[in-house]
Structure 1
C-alpha cells in the first residue's frame, strides 16, 4: 500500500478513481455528506471542485493505492483529507474530513494508516489540535476511539445517513505533537 499527498493537478487526474471510491463509500452506508444513490457524475464533480482548495493550501488530500502487479500503481482504495485553518486564531488546528476506505479493502488497517498519515502531516506542519465529526455508533467512530481520539460530545439529528434518516453525530478531537 502506498499513501501519497496529492497536489491540485494530481487530484484532478485521480478524480475518476476518487469518485468511484466516494460512490462505493456512500453506497456502503457511510455518512460522509452525501445521500444514496450517489451518481458518479456528481461524485466526480465534487472531487474536481476540491482542486482549487488544494492549490490554495486550504485542503490537503492523501490517497492510498494498492500495489499492482508492476508496483504501487494499483487502484485508489482509500483517502483522507485535512481542512487547514483560514483564520489567524485557528492556525493551530485542522479538521479531519472524508476518511474513506473502499469496501474491498476494509479490515486490513488502511483506515488507521490514513488516519496516522494525516495526524503526522498535521503535526509536522505545526498543527497541534485536530477535530472531526462522525456518525454516532459507526465503524468510523470505533476507529477514532481506538486511535486515541477524545469524544467531545454528541449532537442529535445532525446529519442524514445515505438513506436519508437523521442520525446523531459525535465530535472528536486529538492533540498531536510535532515530530522529534
Structure 2
C-alpha cells in the first residue's frame, strides 16, 4: 500500500493521541535518541504530544507531518518555525521518527522531502537539525543534502539508560 503524508492539525493530534504515543514509545524503546531515556512509559509519550507539540501546532509555530501506511501511523516529523525576529528565513527539523516496523521503506525520506516543501512555502530557506552522531539518520540527512557543521561531544544521555553521553552532529541545508 502507498504511504500518505498529511499535515496534522491540533484536532488530529488529539484524536490520534494513542497511536502517536505508541509510535514515540516504540521508537524510544528501539533506541532512538529523540530526547527520552528508558524506562519510558506510554503515558509519558502521550504527554510529549499534548505538552510539547500540540501547543506549537495550535499557535502555528510548528507543522507536524504524519506518514500513514496500511491505515497506521508509520512516522512523523515536525517543522519548528518559532524563530527569533532576525531568523524568519530559518526553520528547525524536529523529531523525525519512523516506527521500527515501517523502517527501510523510504518513509523518512518522504517525510523530509515534504517538510522541505512546506518550509519553502513558508519562505524558509535554511533548515537546521541535530542528530546523534553515527545514528542511522545521519547518512539519510547527508544523502538529502544536509551538511555537517560540527559535532558536540557528550550532548545527550544514551536513550537506553545508563550514564553514557552521546555526541550530536549539527547539520544544515540551504533550500
Partner secondary structure for residue 149 of structure 2: strand
Q: Does 1:58 align with 2:61?
A: yes
Q: Is the contact between residue 83 and residue 90 of structure 2 (CA under 8 Å) also seen in structure 1?
A: no
1:170 aligns with 2:139: no
- Out of 9, 12, 22, the residue aligned to residue 10 of structure 1 is 12
Aligned residues of 1:85 and 1:93 also touching (Cα < 8 A): no
Please state how far the C-alpha of 1:101 moved relative to its aligned partner: 0.4
1:23 alignment counterpart? 25
Unaligned runs of 5+ in 2: none
How many angstroms apart in 2 are the aligned matches of 1:5 and 1:151?
28
Query: Which stretches of structure 1, 4 residues or more, deviate above 3 A after TM superposition?
Result: none
The count of aligned residue pairs is: 170
Contact 2:62 2:82 (8 Å CA) reproduced: no
Match 1:44 to one of 22, 43, 46: 46
* Cα shift at 1:125: 1.1
Q: Does 1:106 align with 2:119?
A: no
TM-score (normalizing by structure 1): 0.92
- Give 1:142 shift: 1.1
Mapped partners of 1:37, 1:75: distance in 2: 25
CA-based RMSD of the aligned residues comes to 0.9
Listed as ranges, the gaps of 5+ residues in structure 1 are: 68-73
CA distance in 1 between partners of 2:86 and 2:155 (Å): 26
How far apart, in 2, do the equivalents of 1:123 and 1:36 lie? 36
Q: Is the 8 A contact 1:80 1:100 kept in 2?
A: yes
CA offset digits 1:131-156 (Å, max 9, x no partner) = 00000000011110111100010000
Tell me the SS of whatever aligns to 2:124: coil
